[in-house]
Amino acid sequence: MEFNLLYYYTATITNWRCLLKPDKYKDVIIESLSDLVSRDKIAVYAFVIMPNHMHLIWELLKMNGNEKPHASLMKFTAHTIQDDLRKNHPKVLELFQVEDTSRKYHFWKRNPLPVWLYTPEIIYQKLDYIHNNPVQGRWNLCDSPYDYKYSSARFYETGIDDFGFLTHIGERI
């Protein structure tokens, strides 16, 4: 991913396991996004955190030390979730054990999917997809996109940023 371009970004939990079902793990992602935005490393225009994946429309602004911000997001969330699983859910942690010399556990599927958003039409199509993801047949997590807590849909409906890190896409395009 290049800096100062808009991307639709999908990151998925290994083997599509519903690791993100507990709110405490969704909150870890929110914490990391908030931190990166507050330090001007990223801009977040839209997001949804589902039980086994997340979608973002975002922009990378600056390096986070020696790594790009998306690597920092993946690393921070994986380490934080691993620490919690070790303390509170060791049997679940075992499900993510891998035979790898560089790590003992793997939570995020390798090679998350970034798609460059190069036209307003594509941006708005992805925005609608993100916001409607929780109400889709497979998930049925809520009746209305605006009712799902871990999404930017309510922000786009009401203008209220419950997370404190969102930027309206209209400010960018």
Average pLDDT on 31-48 reads 98
How large a percentage of the chain has pLDDT more than 90? Answer: 94
The full set of domain ranges for the chain reads: 6-171
Banded pLDDT at 160 (limits 50, 70, 90) = very high
DSSP symbols for 69-124: HHHHHHHHHHHHHHHHHHHH-HHHHHTTB---SS-SB--BPSS-EEEE--SHHHHH
Which pLDDT score is estimated for 111? 84
Q: How far is CA 18 from CA 39, 53, 114, 117, in A?
A: 30, 8, 21, 28
CATH of domain 6-171: 3.30.70.1290
For 56-97, how does the pLDDT look when each residue is reduced to its tens digit (9 = 90+)? 999 999 999 999 999 999 999 999 999 999 999 999 999 999
Which residue, chain included where needed, has tokens 């400010």?
171
CA atoms of 51 and 17, how far apart (whole Å): 8
Which residue, chain included where needed, has tokens 């921070």?
76
Is the distance from CB of 134 to CB of 21 less than 8 angstroms?
A: no
User: Under the phi-then-psi rule, with left for phi > 0, alpha for psi from -120 to 50, and beta for the rest, what region is 159?
Assistant: left
Reduced to 3 states, what is the DSSP secondary structure of residue 58? strand
Higher pLDDT, 11 or 113: 11
Residue 137 has pLDDT above 90, yes or no: no
pLDDT, the chain, mean: 96
Which residue, chain included where needed, has tokens 């049997």?
91
Is the distance from CB of 7 to CB of 58 less than 8 angstroms?
A: yes
CA atoms of 26 and 54, how far apart (whole Å): 9
Which residue, chain included where needed, has tokens 């916001």?
131
For 104-125, how does the pLDDT look when each residue is reduced to its tens digit (9 = 90+)? 999 999 888 899 999 999 999 9
